[in-house]
Amino acid sequence: MDQPTNRPTTSPAVTTLADPLVNKGTAFTRDEREALGLDGLLPPAVETLDEQVARAYEAFRGYDKPLNRHIYLRQLQDTNEVLFHRLVTEHLEELLPVVYTPTVGEACRRFSEIYRRPRGLFLTWEDRHRFRDILRNRPHGNQDVDVIVVTDGQRILGLGDQGVGGMGIPIGKLSLYTAIGGIHPARTLPILLDVGTDNEDLLGNPRYLGRRDRRLTGAEYDEMIEAFVAAVEAELPGTLLQWEDFATAHAYPILERYRDRLLTFNDDIQGTAAVTLGALSTAADVAGTPLPEQRLVILGAGSAAIGVAGMIRTAMVDEGLTEDEATARFWILDVDGLLVSSRSGLSPQQRAFARDDGEVAGWDGTGLAEVVRRVEPTALIGLSTAHGAFTEEIVRRMAGTCERPVIFPLSNPTSHSEAEPADLTRWTDGRALIATGSPFPPLTVDGHRVPVAQSNNVYVFPAMGLAVTACRAARVTDRMLVAAARAVARCAVRAADGVEGPVPLLPPLSGMRDSAREIALAAALAAVEDGVAPHATQEELREAIERAQWTPRYAD
């Protein structure tokens, strides 16, 4: 008998079942089974999509460990995209922590061990002259792409360099572009730029699936990025290119280099900023301290923190402060303490927020505890990856000088959060206005069960994808992101209407698809006003957004 070969041996029917975009599994009707040659290849029962969702949900619940649930969902996604996205959409609040932070962090760390099937594209330095050809190899090469999420795996959540394992993040983010924003799954493309890794554990791990080399740096790294961008421009013009989880040293330069050249944004800098401004605006209203009067201490001075500070400063200027007055409302710290002018090695973006050295003369150091003691902040934001950095002493001190302290430990995943919401509530006698980066269980405040707002860029990026797809924007402008932030806050206020007890700082996750349309509309209007999208009225944009938001259901 002939030995098996590398040539495909499957029939067209099996190819249909193996294509997650057309496979309906047990939902193929009898007529479809006959027409497609599927008779006998499926169990006899014909299920509705709802029945499949119920069965898949039971199977999901049958796994105890979050990582196993994640693996199950990824397999479902690779088997039947409509079913996967319907399941995620219907159980968004419960599934978000599994598809996304914190479990996706674990999935990235263990990428090589749990690897099952390919998804997206892996681009390496050696292939840099062939990127355009490789883009044509994309799984749905006959489709245009609306959104690419790309990472080089160097700063995966707060977990550092995960090399090729970083691919879990673009895959996770794009599944939310679809489940929330309604971007058709065939028109999404996750990409991992494998520029090597400096993670010794990965380099020494025989199972590691990435390039077993140190990271490219300097001119070679820049050449790789330029080759990638040029290939995207040539092969997929008009696609939204989202940069994700790049180390800060690369994140800002890349954004600055390309933001005026193509449709692109950095989610960690700009998406995070927009959702945080949204949550802070709601918190400022609740606290009765208008945004321009807030005094903000930010722990962390990486791309996320500086992006957040920049956008809040812009909003303060919109609300009447001068640029200098607004800048003076921020105290930003990194691992070496407060950013002050005399420090060397600060980036231009960090330097813009550095305090005068004279201010700290006589201080007992510039660590967080001392800064909080001296500044008496009204808002404390963590984007530092430093687990537990908001200690009881620091939080109690802050609560001693501020009636409604705004405290946002935003680092991901959960294991890197600067504080636990339950502790913050206890240490402030329930007065803290809290938002976290990863999900936490609800709190009990004054006898009310209060969900913990998740100030995560997931409130923004799916809506941004929907906006630019619907309004055909050519660029992502800062005003589009600020408009998105304002819309996030408006959605929160609307959702709070009639809610008993403490006001939620962000709209409920369960209503994210609806919120995404509102946020997208605000961003699309700003795109038109900024002249980066064709003229359209508000009503036309609203209709375009409704049309563009794909709902997971089977084609007839």
Ligand X SMILES: NC(=O)C1=CN([C@@H]2O[C@H](COP(=O)(O)OP(=O)(O)OC[C@H]3O[C@@H](n4cnc5c(N)ncnc54)[C@H](OP(=O)(O)O)[C@@H]3O)[C@@H](O)[C@H]2O)C=CC1
Residues tagged active-site: 100, 173
Nearer to ligand X, 74 or 416 (CB): 416
Spatial contact of 390 and 397, defined as CB atoms under 8 Å apart: no
Site track 236-255 with ligand CC(=O)C(=O)O (rule: CB under 6 A), x = hit = ---------x----------
Give the C-alpha separation, 172 to 517, whole Å. Answer: 20
Regarding 411 and contact with ligand X (CB under 6 A), the answer is yes
Give the C-alpha separation, 295 to 285, whole Å. Answer: 15
Q: Is 511 helix (H, G, I), strand (E, B) or coil?
A: helix
Site track 88-127 with ligand CC(=O)C(=O)O (rule: CB under 6 A), x = hit = -------------x--------------------------
Q: Is 555 helix (H, G, I), strand (E, B) or coil?
A: coil
Regarding 425 and contact with ligand CC(=O)C(=O)O (CB under 6 A), the answer is no
Among 457, 469, 477, 515, binds ligand X (CB under 6 A): 457
Minimum gap (Å) between residue 500 Cβ and ligand CC(=O)C(=O)O: 30
How many chain residues touch ligand CC(=O)C(=O)O (CB under 6 A)?
A: 9
Token pair for 514: 């609806």
Regarding 268 and contact with ligand CC(=O)C(=O)O (CB under 6 A), the answer is yes
Q: If contact means CB under 5 to 8 A according to the sort of partner, which of Mg ion, ligand X, ligand CC(=O)C(=O)O, none does residue 77 touch?
A: none
Residue 499: alpha-carbon gap to chain centroid: 28
Spatial contact of 266 and 303, defined as CB atoms under 8 Å apart: yes
Regarding 456 and contact with ligand X (CB under 6 A), the answer is yes
Spatial contact of 436 and 450, defined as CB atoms under 8 Å apart: no
Regarding 161 and contact with ligand CC(=O)C(=O)O (CB under 6 A), the answer is no
Among 178, 239, 436, 456, binds ligand CC(=O)C(=O)O (CB under 6 A): 456
Token pair for 57: 């949900």
Token pair for 471: 């309004």
**DSSP structural state of residue 293:** G
Regarding 455 and contact with ligand X (CB under 6 A), the answer is yes
Spatial contact of 309 and 296, defined as CB atoms under 8 Å apart: yes
Regarding 254 and contact with ligand X (CB under 6 A), the answer is no
**Helices 368-375 and 392-401: angle between axes, nearest 10 degrees:** 10
Minimum gap (Å) between residue 305 Cβ and ligand X: 5
- Specify the length of the chain in residues: 556
Regarding 52 and contact with ligand CC(=O)C(=O)O (CB under 6 A), the answer is no
Give the C-alpha separation, 324 to 477, whole Å. Answer: 23
Q: If contact means CB under 5 to 8 A according to the sort of partner, which of Mg ion, ligand CC(=O)C(=O)O, ligand X, none does residue 386 touch?
A: ligand X
Spatial contact of 16 and 39, defined as CB atoms under 8 Å apart: no
Contacts to ligand X by CB under 6 A? 155, 157-158, 248, 268, 272, 299-305, 333-336, 383-386, 389, 410-412, 416, 437, 455-457
